[in-house]
Chain A
Amino acid sequence: MAHDLTLFANTRPRRRSAPPALWPYSLAGFLALFSLWFAVAHSGLMPARVLPGPDAVVAAFFRLMREPFAGFTLQQHLLSSAIRFAFGFLIAAAVGVPLGLVMGRFRWVDDIVSPVFEALRFVAPIAWVPFAALWFGTGIGGPILIIFSGAFPPCVINAYRGARLVEPRLIEAAQTLGASQWRIITEILIPGAVPAIIAGLRIGAGLGWQSLIGAELIVVSSGIGYVIVQGQSNLATPIVMAGMVAIGIVGFVIDVLLRTFEHWVRRKWSGA
């Protein structure tokens, strides 16, 4: 591992001086999608009510930002979604990562938790909606449970795997140097598992965000998912699609932020 990192550190300057110019390809993909969408929407094969063109969706998007719809502007809806997401995701990370680490360190915890965890993790977040509403209401508690149920498993699994992949030799070395159990967890297990933990947070954030939208479709009266439901009941398909676009953008932003964080930590950890 150390050797790989050294190699990577040596080759980095060269990579930085010649960044691969791939963005034109990415742009071409988007252009192709929008052109096709535009062509089909304006061909008259489908009524605008069924498939609005990208121009109509963009117009709806900017209108939603200015004029309140279903009580709030798009930004306000996004903000209320984001707050719910932040709560659910942070709770999932705060509970899931330590749990995964402890499971990875102590066999008996693993034996207690794993069967229950394995049974529950295949229950889709959406399936929790009835109980979420029943136990925590439709305000903020219910959606948080649903986000939690989406983001929690990847946090646990990755922290667990990360802890298991820490070289046993390092843990033994720490033991022979007199490290307490707590110190082994904080100074050996966590740093060793950090790359895996962050990858888990990223996956968890994605699933949490998706689960949130699902929750908002059903239980609440604000948020971006609620915009879509209201758009549908008003037969305002451009609004539905504008909502979908907003979800995609926010999801993408969350992923980019976490990926940047991941790169930052990786670089710090490799010591370069």
Chain B
Amino acid sequence: MSAISFLDVVRSFDRVGDQPIVALDRVSLTVAEREFVAIVGPSGCGKTTLLRLAAGLDFPTAGRVLVGEREVRAPGPDRAVVFQQFALFPWKTVRENIGFGLKCRGMSARDREVPVEHYIGVMGLGGHEDSYPHQLSGGMQQRVAIARSYVLEPDVLLMDEPFGSLDAQTRIEMQEELIRLARVSPRTVLFITHSVEEAVYLADRVVVMSRRPGRIREVVEVAGLRRDEAWQDRPIEEVLDQESFIHLRSYIWKLLRDRPGDHGAIERLEPKRTVRSVR
């Protein structure tokens, strides 16, 4: 119902008096229903563009983008977006920010109360309901942004480097929280990050992209390994020390550092079999 499919998607941006920039070049990717897919890649590889296409904030030059078998034509509350810079409404309180989507749905103030309070609790924002975003720390602002998306119970969650601007401590807390939330109410998630560690820790599959033009380099499976080693039941620092985790992380690192041209080198160094064997 809520799978995301990119079918041969091309997105190029015209430039005046110059060659157009090809942000995405024939990208095909399917995120299955309730799957958590992370995208890593160097800046300018088109990962944000990919997310904007799924959100309906941008449209492909060629190819198709489907969510739940329907072509994406406009943004909508079935596909919640958590933006890199949070994008909270500065003139609305925490409560008003979280309740905004429900209000758009036509829900009365009284009906909004219960779900909004629920997510204020879940996100540990109690006592700050009537604060304005600028009065909160970065980590709390981010939690408001996530609550604002979650409260709509969207089928699809699109997150663009949501933890990019947080300090290491808060970042870890938020990652654990996301894992917890993902377990309580699984969603189809497309998660963009430049942290390989974060991608491996959170995602069922990690999509590695290459730059200019943005293409999918490789898709790395993580779900099996996580299940076998029960990562979700262990503290993050323990998972990060797992040999299998380190192995996978350095494999993706090599993919990222490898120039797209010399494709052979990495195949010799880390045959794909290695990834499969750790599954």
Q: Interface size on B (CB < 8 Å)?
A: 29
Tell me the residues in window 54-109 of chain B with beta carbons closer than 8 Å to chain A beta carbons: 55-57, 74-77, 79-81, 83, 85, 87-91, 93, 100-101, 104-105
B196 within 8 A of A: no
Question: A176-200 interface mask toward B, CB cutoff 8 Å, 1 = contact, 0 = none?
Answer: 1111100100011001100000000
In the complex, whether A67 has a CB less than 8 A from a CB of chain B is: no
- For the complex of A and B, 3 pairs with smallest distance between CB atoms: A271-B132, A178-B77, A2-B134
Closest residue of chain B to A170, judged by CB? Answer: B87
Residue B53, interface by CB 8 Å: no
Residues of B within 8 A of A170 (CB): 87, 89
- How distant is the Cα of A11 from the Cα of B159 in the complex, in angstroms? 35
B135 interface contact, C-beta 8 A? yes
Contact B135 A175 (CB under 8 A): no
Q: Smallest CB-CB separation from A180: which chain B residue?
A: B104
Is there contact, CB below 8 Å, between B55 and A176?
A: yes
A270 within 8 A of B: yes
Binding site for A on B (CB under 8 A): 55-57, 74-77, 79-81, 83, 85, 87-91, 93, 100-101, 104-105, 131-135, 148, 152
Shortest Cβ distance from A1 into B: residue: B90
B134, A173: Cβ atoms closer than 8 Å: no
Q: Which residue of A2, A174, A191 contacts B100 across the interface (Cβ within 8 Å)?
A: A174
Known: A2-B133, A178-B152, A271-B132. 15 other contacts (CB 8 A): A169-B85, A172-B81, A173-B81, A173-B83, A173-B88, A174-B100, A176-B56, A176-B57, A176-B80, A178-B101, A187-B89, A191-B89, A192-B91, A270-B132, A270-B134
Taking a contact as CB atoms under 8 Å apart, the answer to whether B152 and A177 are in contact is yes
In contact, A177 and B134 (Cβ under 8 angstroms) = no
A5 at the interface (CB under 8 A from B): yes
- How far is A6 from B138 in the complex, measured between Cα atoms in Å? 13
A177 to B74, CA, bound (A): 12
Q: In the complex where A3-B134, A271-B132 touch, is A177 in contact with B80 (Cβ < 8 A)?
A: yes
- Evaluate contact between A271 and B75: CB separation under 8 angstroms: no
CB distance from A164 to the nearest CB of B (A): 17
Name the one of A3, A9, A177 contacting B104, with C-beta atoms under 8 angstroms: A177
Q: How far is the CB of A173 from chain B (nearest CB, A)?
A: 4
Q: Find out whether the CB atom of B100 lies under 8 angstroms from the CB atom of A177.
A: yes
